Structure 1
């Protein structure tokens, strides 16, 4: 399968509803294509050349938006995290605090995981690819995962404090 045949994740509209400038639109389209590639071939497999092929841009045109392959990878992680929050975390906030919210977060997470079985999870593949390497890409991955971890831990604590879970519950064990 060539790079141009790989599926991409659907892009999302800007949160604030304002029209983006052309440069921002181009960068968003590149990140969208890069995210689609990364779910299939991993963050380490991303290259400016492959992305130029997918987006039908020149290598220098793609490079100009990021300045480095590392910054491209970090942009992909940020976009993945934003979509993860939009699909998993924020919808759960509509539920009452406590166990209903915790259940919604977990259900949303499992729904996303079932979709990612076919496409790939940036958090999981990134953890494997960058586990033994220090640097900004690993730091961005770790930060995103820790943010999600913290949100789940807060939801567990809130459910326990609301009396929905046993008072002697070990939050860390449940989180694991």
Structure 2
């Protein structure tokens, strides 16, 4: 017989599912912050269970293994990054303003410490880059997505004449991303003014790509 909305068994099941989803979200909220500072290897079932006041067995029931916890943490961090940086930028029409919004959004996401350790993916990628496996593969996909999106946005700017047609979009995306990574790392080392330096470097490089002359240099 088909369950109805008045079926107590169905309601109990739905309640367990909602509680489980809520617990999982709470675990990942803590996990992304811990991993941004201490790396994905800094995550442990015991530590998170203690921090959240739940049993180890309960947490294991949600994630199974440490690797599954790490992969879920990457997915959660990716969703936060998308909401913080990508979605606002893509609301702008294709052109230089969209490219600039992606880059400015990234610098703000890092400087505002959306994650306490700066860019989550910079920390995790340095940790796992030389360690083949599912975690590195997941991080590589996120990196490829970001650089691909940046290059695609640059091509959109080329299509409307705001970046020169002969510019290699993938190469320009690589160069611009290097400014972002440099600012993130040096900010963590305590060097002041690095986000302002990166923002200026980004503007100058986009000006050059658009063929705008640098008025600060003598002709």
> Shorter-chain-normalised TM-score: which range?
0.7 to 0.9
Give unmatched runs, 5+ long, in structure 1.
1-19
Correspondent of 1:156 among 151, 154, 157:
154
What TM-score results when the alignment is normalised by the length of structure 1? 0.84
Aligned length: 157
Q: Does 1:166 align with 2:164?
A: yes
After superposition, the CA RMSD in angstroms is 1.4
Deviation at 1:172, TM superposition (A): 2.3
Secondary structure of the structure 2 residue equivalent to 1:119 = coil
Q: Supply the distance in 1 between the matched residues of 2:170 and 2:99 (Cα, whole angstroms).
A: 14
Matches within 5 A, 1:18-57: 21-57=18-54
Q: Supply the distance in 1 between the matched residues of 2:118 and 2:58 (Cα, whole angstroms).
A: 27
Question: Would the aligned equivalents of 2:158 and 2:164 in 1 still touch at CA under 8 Å?
Answer: yes
Deviation at 1:26, TM superposition (A): 0.7
**Larger Rg computed on CA atoms:** 2
Q: Which has the higher contact order (CA 8 A, sep 6+)?
A: 1
Question: Would the aligned equivalents of 1:43 and 1:122 in 2 still touch at CA under 8 Å?
Answer: no
Question: Would the aligned equivalents of 1:77 and 1:140 in 2 still touch at CA under 8 Å?
Answer: yes
Give unmatched runs, 5+ long, in structure 2.
1-16, 175-219
2:135 corresponds in structure 1 to: 137
Q: Which runs of 4+ in 1 moved over 4 A?
A: none
What TM-score results when the alignment is normalised by the length of structure 2? 0.68
